[in-house]
Amino acid sequence: MLIAIIEDEEDLLELLEFNLSQEGYDVVGFLNTKKIKDFIIEESPDLLIVDRNLPNVEGVKFIKELKSEGFDIPVIFLTAKNSEEEILKGFEAGADDYITKPFSMAELKARVKAVLKRNGKFSHTLLYKNYKLDLNNRILLTPENEINLTKNEFNLLKLFFQNPKRVVTREEIANILEINEKSVNVAVNRLNHKINILKAVRGVGYKLTEQ
Task: Map out the domains of the chain as residue ranges.
Answer: 2-118, 125-208
Note the helical H segments in 93-138: 105-118
Angle at 159 between CA 123 and CA 174, to 5 degrees: 150
The amino acid present at 32, given as its one-letter code, is N
C-alpha Rg value of the chain to the nearest Å: 18
What predicted TM-score, i.e. pTM, was given to this entire model? 0.62
Predicted local distance difference test score (pLDDT) of residue 121: 67
Does the domain formed by 125-208 have CATH 1.10.10.10? yes
Coil vs helix vs strand at 124: coil
Does the domain formed by 2-118 have CATH 3.40.50.300? no
Predicted local distance difference test score (pLDDT) of residue 16: 96
Coil vs helix vs strand at 147: strand
Where the chain has pLDDT below 70, the residues are 121-123, 211
